[in-house]
């Protein structure tokens, strides 16, 4: 999508962020002198031609390739239904609506997810003093979100600062429910995406796990912000951090 283009009556204003699994735009709509803002996440399934070729190289024919990626889209649709049920809960990013559109003349779908417009956690930290009181509020707010997840037997599995947002009232909200987890099923998982910094060892090692892995990841997030922005086993602040330090820190953490 391009700046200035239109989505269901909403104007595409600017690109807010781009990650492994899609792009997020700020969109606006004006009516009777009032302007409304939202965030629009755009995801493509499959994400590249290389993903189609990877599946084709596994021996699938065209019908099987289409069915393979369509099953992923169906799973994402189930996650969107879950987000719909959680709409309006204070500490979870609010879903507004979505659209899933097949691409013309090819294999694939474009998924558009409209959500409330919030401030990413790192942007909030750069522009505000991040006090211990606020860090504790972050922990409490995300625990509230995880408690709701527990009622639905949902394990988020990707708790990290990039998935935490801040409302204009100062509430911390958890986002990206299940979408990234479903997209890991595409051929791109040949080189597994995502960050390991906050991942519980049992998830990384492929062992059985339960909802406690989310508590573990939240603990790492809080540790970082209470420890001069350093995760466990990194050189103590203000020592510089080298790439090898990050690798070694993860090895030490995952190995226990």
Would you call 139 exposed, middle or buried from its count of C-beta atoms within 10 A (0-12, 13-18, 19+)? Answer: middle
| H-helix or E-strand spanning residue 132 | helix 132-151
Token pair 């204009």: residue: 168
Helix-strand-coil split of the chain, %, nearest 5: 40, 25, 35
Dihedral (CA of 193, 197, 203, 206) sign: positive
| Angstrom distance (rounded) from CA 28 to CA 11 | 5
Measured CA to CA, the distance from residue 17 to residue 91 in angstroms comes to 21
Whether 158 is a known active-site residue: answer yes
Six token digits for residue 193: 């995406």
Which of 141, 158, 176, 214 is flagged as catalytic? Answer: 158
Beta bridge partners of 61: none
Exposure b/e, 40-57, CB count within 10 A at least 16 = b: bbbbbbbbeeebbebbee
Q: Which residues are catalytic?
A: 158
């Amino acid at each position: 999508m391009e700046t200035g283009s239109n989505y269901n009556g909403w104007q595409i204003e600017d690109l807010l962020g781009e990650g492994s699994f899609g792009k997020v735009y700020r969109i606006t709509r004006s009516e009777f002198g009032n302007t409304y803002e939202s965030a629009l996440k755009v995801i493509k399934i499959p994400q590249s031609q290389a993903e189609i070729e990877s599946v084709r190289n596994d021996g699938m024919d065209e019908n099987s390739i289409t069915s393979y990626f369509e099953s992923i889209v169906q799973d994402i649709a189930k996650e969107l239904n879950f987000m719909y049920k959680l709409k309006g809960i204070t500490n979870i990013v609010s879903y507004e609506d979505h659209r899933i559109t097949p691409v013309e003349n090819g294999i694939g779908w474009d998924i558009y997810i409209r959500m409330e417009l919030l401030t990413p956690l790192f942007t909030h930290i750069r522009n505000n003093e991040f006090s211990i009181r606020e860090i504790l509020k972050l922990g409490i707010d995300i625990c509230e979100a995880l408690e709701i997840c527990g009622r639905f037997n949902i394990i988020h599995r990707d708790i990290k600062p990039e998935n935490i947002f801040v409302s204009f009232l100062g509430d911390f909200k958890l986002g990206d429910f299940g979408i990234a987890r479903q997209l890991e099923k595409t051929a791109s998982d040949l080189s597994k995406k995502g960050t390991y910094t906050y991942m519980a060892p049992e998830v990384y090692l492929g062992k059985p796990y339960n909802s406690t892995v989310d508590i573990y990841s939240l603990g790492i997030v809080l540790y970082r912000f209470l420890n001069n922005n350093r995760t466990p086993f990194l050189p103590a602040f203000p020592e510089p951090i080298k790439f090898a330090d990050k690798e070694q820190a993860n090895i030490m953490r995952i190995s226990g």
